[in-house]
Amino acid sequence: MLDTLGQQMPFVKMQGSGNDFVVIDNRDRRVPVEAMADWAKAVCRRAFGIGADGIFFLENPPADRPGVDFIWHFYNADGSRAEMCGNGSRCAARLAYLLGIAPARHVIGTDAGPVRAEVLDSGRVKVQLTPAKDARLDIALPAADKTLRAHFVNTGVPHTVIFVDDVAKVDLPDLGRTVRYHETFRPKGTNANFAQVVDKQTMLLRTYERGVEAETYACGTGASAAVYLSHKLGLTGPEVNVTTSGGEQLTISVDGDNVFLAGAATVTFTGDLLLESVGLKL
Ligand SMILES: N[C@@H](CCC[C@H](N)C(=O)O)C(=O)O
């Protein structure tokens, strides 16, 4: 019956700690790179498309990118391309393993650089992010009626972290947006993270994500940035369990500028996208 509904594209829906993604196996290059931003906007739009925080396309590595098992093209829900996504990379690793594209230990080619992944028996996936860079501590951020004490690091994508006494009390739509668009971080902008250190091994985190333009249930590179910076500030030890706003747990460990992120990566459903229904065609 659905054959009458025109062109279709198989997809996989996944989530890593509640950060949700549509995955397209694009090894046949059916979707050209130039069309991917439009695909992201149409497919990720909740209620009208499949709905997701982001979409990524898995492809075989080109000859000029040796040493990686596959590459991806990652896009946020608003159609912006992102250099990296921690939870997305864990989902990509799990799916690549399930599809036989890569062995349990492999390397993903991201725009930020190669990311090492290990798919664990439990269905959890551990990734080593690209080395933390551009760290800046104690940035004074003038906001409406106060000055925020912020810290910054790039863990594949840019992250600002503000430590607070109670994350539940943060007005994230307002404060997250203020930080995300603060002139200090122009032109690329930043993701905005609010972290509550519970003890040396435990943290609560909420993230306002660039490209989703809202709070997401989790952000892997954000959790990694928060732990990297809290460790640098002496607030936590080198390994921390981070509870994200969706209630899931990510485990982050830091060794110098090397940051490791581990957590569950789950296939939630598979399906066929009816391209015409979301305004797309091949
Ligand atoms: N949710 C991701 C980060 C995705 C990219 C980010 N929105 C950006 O554009 O910087 C993660 O888990 O790291």
CA of 210 to the centre of ligand 1 (A): 7
Ligand 1 atom 3: residue of nearest CA: 85
Domain contains 96: yes
- Is the predicted pLDDT of residue 143 greater than 90, yes or no? no
- Is the predicted pLDDT of residue 22 greater than 70, yes or no? yes
- Please identify which of the residues 9, 85, 197, 229 carries the catalytic annotation: 85
Average pLDDT of every residue of the chain: 97
What range does the domain containing 119 cover? 2-128+266-278
Same domain, 90 and 173: no
Same domain, 139 and 122: no
What is the distance, to the nearest Å, from the Cα of residue 25 to the centroid of all Cα atoms in its chain? 18
Same domain, 10 and 115: yes
Same domain, 115 and 141: no
- Categorize the per-residue pLDDT at 277 as very low, low, confident or very high, splitting at 50, 70 and 90: very high
Domain contains 261: no
67 is in an annotated binding site: no
- Please identify which of the residues 31, 119, 212, 219 carries the catalytic annotation: 219
Same domain, 150 and 78: no
Same domain, 173 and 242: yes
Same domain, 12 and 106: yes
Domain contains 237: yes
26 is in an annotated binding site: no
Residue 85 bears catalytic tag: yes
Spatial CB neighbours of 76, under 8 Å, sequence gap ≥ 6:
40, 44, 53, 54, 82, 209, 210, 211, 212
Same domain, 147 and 203: yes
Same domain, 120 and 83: yes
pLDDT of residue 122: 87
What span, in angstroms and rounded, lies between the C-alpha atoms of 249 and 94? 17
Number of domains forming the structure of the chain: 2
Same domain, 119 and 191: no
pLDDT of residue 123: 87
Domain contains 69: yes
Any atom of ligand 1 within 6 Å of the Cβ of 157? yes
Q: Which atom of ligand 1 is nearest to the CA of 88?
A: 12
CATH, residue 99? 3.10.310.10
**How much is the pTM?**
0.97
- Is the predicted pLDDT of residue 1 greater than 70, yes or no? no
pLDDT of residue 144: 81
- Is the predicted pLDDT of residue 275 greater than 80, yes or no? yes
| Portion of the chain with pLDDT greater than 70, in percent | 99
Same domain, 174 and 231: yes
- Is the predicted pLDDT of residue 82 greater than 60, yes or no? yes
pLDDT of residue 218: 98
258 is in an annotated binding site: no
CB 28 within 8 A of CB 61: no
Residue 219 bears catalytic tag: yes
Cis amide leading into 187 (omega within 30): yes
Same domain, 108 and 161: no
